[in-house]
Amino acid sequence: MKQTLSQIQAKFGPKEIINAGVGLAVIALLALFFILWKGEKTIKIGAILSLSGSTMYVGEETRDGMLLAVDQINTWGGVNGQKIELIIADSQADPLKGEAAFNTIEATHHPILYASTLSGVSIALAPLAQKNQVVLIGLATTAPEFTRQNEWVFRYFSTARDEVPPILAILAELRVKNLGVIYIDDAFGRSFFVLARAEFEKAGGVVSGESFDGQSLNFQKQLARLKNTEAIYVAVNPGHLESLFKQVQEAGYNGPILAAGNASVPAVRSLPEANGVYVVAPIIYAPDFLYAREVSEKYEAKYGKPFNHYAAGGYDLIKLLAGLLEGKEISREQVKKLLEQGFTYPGVFGELNVAPGEHEIGFPFHPAQIVNGEVKYR
Amino acid sequence: MSRRRIGIGVRLTAGFTLVVVLLAALALYAVWVSQEALQASVGRGSVFLADEMLKGIDHNLYFRLEELQKYTQDLTLQKVVAGSNREFDQLKDAQAYITEKDQAWTAAPVQTVTPFMQALLNNELSAELNAVFIKMYEKKYGYAIFDEILVTNKYGANVAQTGKTSDYRQDDEEWWQKAQEQDFYVSNMEYDESTGTYGISMAVSIDDDGGNRLGVIKAVVPVGGIAREAEFAARKYETAEIELLTQDGRRIYATKPFRFLEDISDKTFFKRIEAESGFFVVEEAGREKLFAYTSSRGYREFAGLPWVLVVDYDVEEVLKPIFGLRNNILIASAVLIIISIVIALSVSRSIARPIVKFRHAAEDIARGQLGIQIDPQLLAVNNEIGDLARSFTTMAQSLAQRQQEVTERTRQLEVSQEALRESEEKIRKIFLSSPDAIIVSDLTGHITACNQAALNEFGFTTEKDLIGQNGLDLVAPQDRRQAGKNIQKTLKQGTRGESQYTLITKNGRQFPAEVSSSAILDAKGQPVSFVIIMKDISRRKRAEEELIQYRDHLEELVAARTAELNERVTEIEQLNNAMTKLLADLQTTNRNLERTARKLQVANQELEDFAYVVSHDLKAPLRAITQLADWISADYKETLDKEGQEMLQLLNHRTRRMHNLIEDILQYSRVGRLAEKERKIDLNQLVREVVEMLAPPEHIRVTLENKLPLVVGEPTRLEQVFQNLLANAIKFIDKPEGQIRINCVAQAAGWTFSIADNGPGIEEKYYPKIFQVFQTLAPRDDPESTGIGLALVKKIIEAWGGKIWVESEIGRGSAFFFTFPQKEANNLEKH
């Protein structure tokens, strides 16, 4: 039986009006939600970083750089309409824990690629990347063997090959012929020591190497054995540098101290003991390098801490991937293909030219010196 | 055609919503216009920016060219180049030398640096070139402004260089020749074999002060460095991307990862590049982007390069303020629409609901339900609805009052109608059932109605036979004239007239009748008809005649009746005499009876006196004997032997028994003769006093099994009854623990009392005997047992109209029962 409108109206009480209003509001909110909500599928990137222990600094800075880039990209709709989702896990600088994190992320998120920090962890993850047919990009991973014979593994960081030549240039400038090297006895330290010794000896110098296990912060024995060298080059983790610099001063060593690129980061170079240390540094610390300065300002504004090349590596990697994937199908194979076909990328480390088939995406280091907490390029 | 009905609520809601939607649409249109304007503004600004950037690139290239030109005046450079020229001038065959060296140069493996090459790379000028043009900029900007610097002499042979070139001879190169010809040369982008990269070659001739060509200096400018230097101007937006393209769609530089010379001519945005500069919006990689582009126009004598610079931004970022405004408007519109719908519904409800109520009220009124109550809330509203509600209420009240009046009038009318109907019915019944003949006629005398009596009277069967006839035809001819006159008189005066006429029936029979007529008047008092009532007075006439005859025979009848009466009076007188005699006999008898009663009273008095005298006279010698025996016993106690003392004791017992016997006889004789005044007696108290008086031994326990009643009776007699029965029980109990139980059972007409003991019991054969005078079961010498006690009790009880009996079992005890009638004190409660 049809009801007349007046009959329907007559049935409208306050309760019906409120219900109608609430119903309409819910419908409107749902409509607005569906209008404004655009994220469906996300581009997942696994990040297995060293977020605790002596290398925590590296992992945290890398993570924050990645998050800055992700935020910027996602703010404007992501990549091809898909937002980037970073799946972060702490490797605790432990290869086994890194593997466990990889397997967990793989099982739960199946990201399109992984990024990892530290040579030990990255080397352990490389077979897993190969096995799962997913790209693994090493950040703050310097060990040369990382990228060897593994088609799914790429490096986005400098190696000894990038850092040692500017060190040699400094040594040449300083006319050092007898060099002492203190290096951490891991893939990173050994690679730096081996290359530096080879190149320095090739140029006619003499190298004395002293390793340490990375656990002890007592370098007195090593320093005692290197007291007669003209200069000491240190290739250790950032967390070791403060103690090392102090002990060098305490030992009364008068020769120049040279350090790997990780000493150029603000956390290290701001140490009083680091003043005067020769380092190699990427271009991001150059105040005239406007592009890096722009990112640096955003980073500092967001996190309240100075920008550094670990953060820059994380930031640039995300930007690089976003740029490569723009307008392309998003898949694990596509990531690999895009990286392998070579590209030019004007990122925060300057213009990177990556040849087709190249798995090493390094960035240049320049001779420099820490002066009053700042990097002075030479 | 009926129009579809649309309710107020729908209209208001639709109206509100339409207004809000229109406002929202207007706002969105404004946003759209603003968006277009902003987009155009940003587009134009971006074109300008791109133009400036490309100008910057052109300027940079020009300034690099200019820098090279300035450097050609460097003394060291001129000195070195001039020195080289002099050296080559001195050669016998400079061209042959160059060819030889060039062949050796090109023959060397690519990675090999020969000593000759090394010498060139490490000479003083090369170091200066490296420091001035390459290292300095790299350190400053982070990237190379010049990739390579090469200096040749006037023969085209390398003099200094910052990197290994592909050959030694340069005079065959276009740049060298153009520089020689035009003073300077800027190539398009080309692949530089020596650096392995693409770049722009710019060459400037080195001239001495005299304008003589000394050589050429060439610099390779990397493309990236050129574009990058200008790109920061475009970093207004985070999503800004810059691309430098060749005019055929190859990517030279981009701020995002790119492959050098990648062909992007199939990209949508490139296809939109048509003019020298412009902007547009297209979708790329799922995002809407604003593209602005411009082509190189060169600077001064530098003609520029065939490049297109494209700047693109994400439209969402560019139009973020507008989009924000749009979203806010959408949200605000949605909220406003909801609010407007709610308000509209509320307003419509506030209007429609009263209207619905008014409609219902009107329908109720239409149905006659005038006692409707308009919602008090509506009445309290201070607006048109309230006014309407109040008017409606006033109207309804007025209608109700009117209806009440109408109802009352209707009721009164109905009552009147009912009364009228009853009256008519009554009249009709009277009319029909009247024993008198009644006819109704019109003014012409024609009969219009008649009753059954009229039909009967005049011998007609049906009304039809009579109706229509002239009423005067029913009058005998001799009275007809007078009747006509009387009728006229009645009509004129409107009053009733009575006459006697002789009427005539259908059969012609004539009979006397008393005729009365009266006019029936209309509302104006005018006669419209008249009623004629005719009463047959034939019988009355005959009765009158008979009465006259009865009067004539009345005296005879009186005489006969008087004679009968006299006979009856005589009979009554005789009967009266007999009665008088009988009454005298009765008086005599009565007097005899009175005399007998007085004799009986005297006899009774004499008997009482006799009993008193006997008892008194007998009791006096007995007291003397007793006293004498007491004296003897007291005085001669020592003298008398045992037998004498026993004899005295026996004498004492016998005299006391005699005394008791006399006393009992006296009491017995008084029963029924001497009446004590009756009063209310509490038997509980009476029995207690009797028991106290009897003072039973300690081994005997007297128990009232229930509460005894309050009775009306002679207290002394009741006390004698209980005293005798209890005394007997106490006396005869032979058990070590005697029990006497007094009980009372209420009956319909009184009570039944029982006094039971656990004494020796009485054999049944003694039951009648024990109630006889002088019959006792006790020893004869017992002075207390006179044999009158139970006889006295029985006599007292029977004097009340009660009875007494005994039930006993040998060895277990006896129970005496007696009844006591309930007397006047009926109002006393039975217990």
Q: What is the 3-state secondary structure (H, E, C) of chain A?
A: CCCCHHHHHHCCCHHHHHHHHHHHHHHHHHHHHHHHCCCCCEEEEEEEECCCCCCHHHHHHHHHHHHHHHHHHHHCCCECCEEEEEEEEECCCCHHHHHHHHHHHHHHCCCCEEEEECHHHHHHHHHHHHHHCCEEEEECCCCHHHHCCCCCEEECCCCHHHHHHHHHHHHHHHCCCEEEEEEECCHHHHHHHHHHHHHHHHCCCEEEEEEECCCCCCCHHHHHHCCCCCEEEEECCHHHHHHHHHHHHHCCCCCCEEECHHHHCHHHHCCHHHCCCEEEECHHHCCCCHHHHHHHHHHHHHHCCCCCHHHHHHHHHHHHHHHHHCCCCCCHHHHHHHHHCCEEEEECCEEEEECCCCCECCCCCEEEEEECCEEEEC
Nearest chain A residue (CA) to B323: A36
Q: Is B316 in Cβ contact with A9 (below 8 Å)?
A: no
Q: What local confidence, expressed as pLDDT, does residue A181 receive? A: 96
Amino acid at A218: N
Q: Give the Cα separation of B204 and B67 in Å (integer).
A: 10
Best of A4, A36, A76 to mutate (most B CBs within 10 Å, chain B): A76
Q: How confident is the model at residue A338 (pLDDT cuts 50, 70, 90)?
A: very high
The greatest distance separating any two alpha carbons of chain B, rounded to the nearest whole angstrom, comes to: 227
More confident residue, B53 or A300: A300
Rounded to the nearest angstrom, the minimum Cα separation between B38 and chain A is: 18
Identity of the residue in A76, A288, A294 whose CB atom sits nearest the CB atom of B235: A294
Rounded to the nearest angstrom, the minimum Cα separation between A358 and chain B is: 14
Amino acid at B91: L
Residue A27 has pLDDT above 80, yes or no: no
Best of B2, B13, B136, B141 to mutate (most A CBs within 10 Å, chain A): B141
Q: Which two tokens stand for residue A277?
A: 């240390």
Identity of the residue in B254, B314, B348 whose CB atom sits nearest the CB atom of A77: B314
Cβ neighbours of residue A22 closer than 8 Å, sequence gap 6 or more: none
Rounded to the nearest angstrom, the minimum Cα separation between A29 and chain B is: 8
Identity of the residue in B286, B327, B331 whose CB atom sits nearest the CB atom of A81: B286
Q: What number of other Cβ atoms are within 10 A of residue B187's Cβ?
A: 19
More confident residue, A186 or A117: A117
Identity of the residue in A17, A79, A343 whose CB atom sits nearest the CB atom of B258: A343
Q: Give the Cα separation of B184 and B192 in Å (integer).
A: 18
Identity of the residue in B141, B256, B353 whose CB atom sits nearest the CB atom of A323: B256
Q: Is B139 in Cβ contact with A366 (below 8 Å)?
A: yes
Q: Give the Cα separation of A217 and A234 in Å (integer).
A: 13
Q: What pairs with residue B750 in β-bridges?
A: B821
Report chain A residues whose CB lies below 8 A from the CB of B140: 286, 288
| Axis crossing angle, helix A238-250 with helix A56-75, rounded to the nearest 10 | 140
Q: Is B356 in Cβ contact with A291 (below 8 Å)?
A: no
Report chain A residues whose CB lies below 8 A from the CB of B259: 341-344
Q: What local confidence, expressed as pLDDT, does residue B225 receive? A: 67
Q: What local confidence, expressed as pLDDT, does residue B193 receive? A: 67
Best of B236, B345, B351, B353 to mutate (most A CBs within 10 Å, chain A): B345
A158 near A191, Cβ under 8 Å?
no
Residue A47 has pLDDT above 90, yes or no: yes
More confident residue, B558 or A143: A143
Q: Give the Cα separation of A123 and A128 in Å (integer).
A: 10
Burial B781-797 (b: 16+ CB within 10 A, else e): eebebbbbbbbbbbbbb
DSSP labels, B767-816: TTGGGSTT--SS-TT-TT--S-HHHHHHHHHHHHT--EEEEEETTTEEEE
**Element at B503 (helix H, strand E):** strand B497-504
Q: What local confidence, expressed as pLDDT, does residue B494 receive? A: 65
Tokens 């030279």, residue located: B252
Q: Give the Cα separation of A259 and B606 in Å (integer).
A: 174
**Element at B192 (helix H, strand E):** strand B184-192
CB contacts < 8 A, A to B, total: 131
Q: What local confidence, expressed as pLDDT, does residue A32 receive? A: 67
Report chain B residues whose CB lies below 8 A from the CB of A21: 338, 341-342, 345
Could you report how far apart the first and last alpha carbons of chain B are, in Å? Answer: 101
Q: What local confidence, expressed as pLDDT, does residue B348 receive? A: 75
Identity of the residue in B9, B238, B284 whose CB atom sits nearest the CB atom of A9: B9
Q: Is A32 in Cβ contact with B331 (below 8 Å)?
A: yes
Q: Which two tokens stand for residue A238?
A: 């950032």
For residue B622, which phi and psi values (nearest 5 degrees)?
-65, -40
Q: Give the Cα separation of B818 and B813 in Å (integer).
A: 17
Identity of the residue in B5, B327, B348 whose CB atom sits nearest the CB atom of A4: B5
Report chain A residues whose CB lies below 8 A from the CB of B356: 6, 9-10
Q: Which two tokens stand for residue B99?
A: 């060819």
Report chain A residues whose CB lies below 8 A from the CB of B253: 344, 346
Angle at B541 between CA B540 and CA B542, to 5 degrees: 90
Q: B163: closest CA among B125, B194, B190?
A: B194
Residues of chain B falling short of pLDDT 50: 1, 825-831
Identity of the residue in A20, A21, A320 whose CB atom sits nearest the CB atom of B257: A320
Is the Cα torsion angle B15, B16, B19, B21 positive or negative in sign? negative
Q: Is A320 in Cβ contact with B258 (below 8 Å)?
A: no
Nearest chain B residue (CA) to A352: B257
Q: B298: closest CA among B531, B59, B45?
A: B59
Q: Is B224 in Cβ contact with A346 (below 8 Å)?
A: yes
Residue ranges of alpha helices (H) inside B636-682 are 642-670
Identity of the residue in A342, A346, A366 whose CB atom sits nearest the CB atom of B259: A342
Q: What local confidence, expressed as pLDDT, does residue B827 receive? A: 42
Q: A114: closest CA among A317, A255, A328?
A: A317
Best of B2, B20, B139 to mutate (most A CBs within 10 Å, chain A): B139
Q: Is B338 in Cβ contact with A25 (below 8 Å)?
A: yes
Q: Is A17 in Cβ contact with B7 (below 8 Å)?
A: no
pLDDT digits (tens, 9 = 90+) for B688-737: 999 998 889 989 999 999 899 988 888 888 888 998 999 889 988 988 89
Nearest chain A residue (CA) to B326: A36
Q: Which two tokens stand for residue A24?
A: 């309409």
Q: What local confidence, expressed as pLDDT, does residue B239 receive? A: 84
B28 near B329, Cβ under 8 Å?
yes
Is the Cα torsion angle B574, B576, B578, B584 positive or negative in sign? negative
- The percentage of chain A sitting over the pLDDT mark of 70, rounded to a whole number, equals 91
Report chain A residues whose CB lies below 8 A from the CB of B290: none
Distances in Å between the alpha carbon of B318 and those of A33, A70, A326, B238, B253?
23, 20, 19, 10, 23
Report chain B residues whose CB lies below 8 A from the CB of A337: none
Q: What local confidence, expressed as pLDDT, does residue B372 receive? A: 73
Report chain A residues whose CB lies below 8 A from the CB of B238: 72, 75-76
Burial A52-62 (b: 16+ CB within 10 A, else e): ebbbbbbbbbb
Rounded to the nearest angstrom, the minimum Cα separation between B289 and chain A is: 11
Rounded to the nearest angstrom, the minimum Cα separation between A285 and chain B is: 10
- The percentage of chain B sitting over the pLDDT mark of 70, rounded to a whole number, equals 91
pLDDT digits (tens, 9 = 90+) for A184-195: 998 889 989 999
B655 near B626, Cβ under 8 Å?
yes
Identity of the residue in A35, A81, A320 whose CB atom sits nearest the CB atom of B287: A81
Rounded to the nearest angstrom, the minimum Cα separation between B368 and chain A is: 22
B161 near B150, Cβ under 8 Å?
yes
The answer to ipTM > 0.85 is: no
A121 near A95, Cβ under 8 Å?
yes
Tokens 């126009």, residue located: B297
More confident residue, B665 or A235: A235
Q: A8: closest CA among B353, B597, B550, B134?
A: B353
| Axis crossing angle, helix B115-122 with helix B94-107, rounded to the nearest 10 | 110
Q: Which two tokens stand for residue A209?
A: 């190497």
Q: A100: closest CA among A125, A129, A69?
A: A125
Q: What is the pTM of this model?
A: 0.56
Q: Which two tokens stand for residue B296?
A: 């190189």
